[in-house]
Amino acid sequence: MEHPLAGLRVLDFSRVLAGPFAGRMLSDLGADVVKVEPPDGDVTRYWGHEIANITGYFHQQNAGKKNICIDLRAPNAPGLVKRLVAEADIVIENYRPDVMDRLGVGYADLNAVNEKIIMLSISGFGRDGPESRRAAYAPVIHAEAGLIARSTRRDGVKLHDLPLSVADTNASLHGLVGVLSALHMRHRTGKGQHIDIAMIDATVATDDQLHYDLEDAIGTGPMPNEIWESGIGPVLLSTDFRMFFRSLTTLGLEDPSNPEMELEEKINVRRKAVGDFLNTLDTPEKFSAAMKSVNVAWGEVRSPENLRDQLTVKARGAITDIDDRNGGTRPITQSPYRFSAAKSGVRGPVAHRGEDFDEVLKGWLSMDDQDISQLREDNVVIYDRKWRHH
């Protein structure tokens, strides 16, 4: 079986997460993705557990990509980038909206050398508008889009950020939809596109709870899911407590309330009875059977370090192991795409900064050793083992 995107060439100028995640997914789907890293490197090379000079965060988002280090400020760098773009299908970048234009490699510059090029630009607040020059990482968008305030209001806890960078990954995935749509349109028109993805747009569009806030209708939604202690530890029950209690009475749970009780007392004694019942379910098999009999969806509140033990994660290989470039392996999240007649998945280990310059320049541009040496002498292309992060 072939990869769906085999044959596509991608230049990934992006850093951290919103852009690199899109590039990683394109690589998993078969595209030839070259990460174009600046001389000072992607900041995520400093984040996470380090093996063979490669940290965990960078490893997860950049596995399978080739790597070339180009100093975009060098006099001959725009010319080299344009030569690469002439051979490319897709460009990804997540600098602030004015940076690529200022360096001479904005969409107009690249489209002039390749009218079929599809460029995905991801920024916090979009290319146009009053906040287009604002710096933005995911937590900034979480704050501006109301996610932090909602989390605090619903949970009654101190204001705090979300425990994952959802604004980045939402923007990345919406960017992928845009890129694949532009590829389909290019088959009809022969023309490329510039796709402007704002992280705040992507977050707002993906927020399934926002309509409650916009229409002042928070009380009209379903009761919130609850987490209960049980015989197998904390579990989330995705159900309305009132329905859940009535369902449990069919399993023999007795109603401890009586007609003389006030409503609050009645609720409290029923909740205690449910809690006592859940604590009798002291094996996963017992708990699963009980929830199945009352048709209640539930989830074990699992510590993420034990995620590999989750039955479906384990069975589907959602976390796999790849070469750690140190004689062993290390874990990495796997591509979520499962095709009936095509394959996808992480396609190789992570490159050190700039180490694939020779393969990329010869493979994409048929460049000879003399020209490559000149680019290195001019500090346009950079690779030196001492540049690797220690």
How confident is the model at residue 129, as a pLDDT? 87
Mean pLDDT of 273-299: 95
Give a yes or no: residue 219 inside a domain.
no
For this structure, is 309 an active site residue?
A: no
Surface-to-core class of residue 232, CB atoms within 10 Å of its CB (0-12 exposed, 13-18 middle, 19+ buried): middle
Per-residue pLDDT at 389 exceeds 50: no
Q: How many residues does the chain have?
A: 390
pLDDT interval class at 155 (50, 70, 90): confident
Per the domain annotation, does 217 fall within a domain?
Answer: no
Q: Are residues 287 and 316 in the same domain?
A: no
Position 150 in a domain? yes
Residue 63 sits in the same domain as residue 126: yes
Q: Are residues 43 and 159 in the same domain?
A: yes
Same domain, 13 and 70: yes
* 120 and 253 co-located in one domain: no
Overall domain count for the chain? 2
Which of 242-251, 269-278, 343-352 is predicted with the least confidence, judged by mean pLDDT? 242-251
Domain shared by 83 and 179, yes or no: yes
Inside any domain, residue 278:
yes
Domain boundary among 300, 322, 342: 300
Same domain, 106 and 251: no
Give the rounded percent of residues in the chain with a pLDDT score beyond 70. 98
In a domain, 82, yes or no: yes
In tens, the pLDDT along 203-236 reads 999 999 999 999 999 889 888 899 999 999 999 9
**Which CATH number does the domain housing residue 367 bear?**
3.40.50.10540
Is 381 part of a structural domain of the chain? yes
Domain termination residue (choose one: 279, 300, 321)? 300
Mean pLDDT, the chain, integer: 95
The pTM of the full predicted model, rounded to 2 decimals, is 0.92
Range of the domain at 72: 9-210+308-387
3 is a domain residue: no
361 in any annotated domain: yes
Residue 362 and residue 322 share a domain: yes
pLDDT in tens, 101-127: 999 999 999 999 999 999 999 999 999
Q: Span 331-339, mean pLDDT?
A: 96
Do 149 and 33 share a structural domain? yes
Query: Mean per-residue pLDDT for 371-379?
Result: 96
Residues 67 and 139 in one domain: yes
In terms of domains, do 202 and 340 share one? yes
pLDDT at 224: 86
Residue 229's pLDDT is: 96
pLDDT at 339 over 80: yes
pLDDT band, very low/low/confident/very high, at 172 (cuts 50, 70, 90): very high
Has residue 386 got a pLDDT over 80?
A: no
* pLDDT over 90, % of the chain: 94
Q: Are 284 and 232 in contact (CB under 8 A)?
A: yes
Residues 312 and 198 in one domain: yes
Domain end marker among 257, 275, 300 = 300
Which of 28, 42, 168, 356 is an active site residue?
168
